[in-house]
Structure 1
Amino acid sequence: MKIQEIIVVEGKDDTVAIKRAVSADTIETNGSAVSQSVIDQIKLAQATRGVIVFTDPDFPGEKIRHTITQQIPDCKHAFLSKEKARPKNGKGIGVEHASPESIREALKEAHLMSEQASSDISQQDLLEAGLIGGSGSKERRERLGQILSIGYTNGKQLSKRLQMFQISRDVFIDAIMQIKQEEENE
């Protein structure tokens, strides 16, 4: 599978994992303090070929994603669940630990994030769906992020993430119904 866009990753181990899964070029941020020269490379890549931001599902990865989105808002984003980003021994988390199949799947699901988007999903909807303020809400948010391919976020940021990815009310309701059905079948 060949990827036209340039994939932004955190480091060289992520590049190695990407190249095991697909034919693609990468830009490495080399940590969460993204330098201006890396931002300039990403801007050029976005202008010429497009960019997919593919960072680890942890705080530093989200920080990198946020930094890039602020300066280059029209990038695509790909996400891995924490479960798919853990090595077999369970130590650490990152793109470099994901299977080639998980990487290909995440890249296929990459989509645009919009800072200006609005959503008709209210805080009350999130509360009623059990995504905030209750027992099991973290697990439901993790599962919602997997289903919608928008990554995991905490309760405070969930509404913003749904807006940024322009998740419609119908798609949100379908995902919540899937989660509830899975919980009933456990």
Structure 2
Amino acid sequence: MNKNNLIIVILIGLLAGALAGGAVALLLDGGDDNGGGTVATTDTTSTGGGTSTDEVACTMEAKLCPDGSYVGRVPPDCEFAPCPELPPVVQSENIKVYAPEQGASITSPVTISGEARVFEGTVNYRILDENGTVIGEGFTTAAAADVGLFGPYTVAAAFSQPLTPIGRIEVFNYSARDGSVENLVTVRVMFTPGG
């Protein structure tokens, strides 16, 4: 065997040995790079003041909250951060209104949103001034996954200029049996001047 071939064989042997040593070290270490759902803890004990703190690195998971936002895990226990609180819900048995909130100042068009569990998903609304004059009305459909389940609805409801600064939004459904108003939810609102 000539000198060049001998050098190549030695280099290949060294490379194979290094790879095998790295694999053994990885197996002994557990192979965890803290990306697999575990928590890495580092003790940073201070010898001078006698205090001890632990630095905790949490996994980068996210949780979907009911309002559509996401939260991650937070130290020290790596539990999910609390979800933001939903706005106060005005509701009847089968209709919930998330927006607008009670007492909100509104302009046209106003976004009306919530969840409903009503016949054929049809959610009706009307906007009235303080005198009871209807200044806007219409309907939208709640997108329920199946019969008997709540489904979300959202509508941009236009309305004409009110004669009073205060009014209300009524969200309801009509009875399939006799056409009467059911599940009426009333949200008191203030009209923004010029809106």
TM-score range, shorter chain: under 0.3
The structure that is strand-richer by fraction is: 2
Q: What is the TM-score when the length of structure 2 is the normalising length?
A: 0.23
Q: What is the TM-score when the length of structure 1 is the normalising length?
A: 0.24
The structure that is helix-richer by fraction is: 1
**Structure ranking higher on relative contact order (CA contacts 8 Å, 6+ apart):** 1
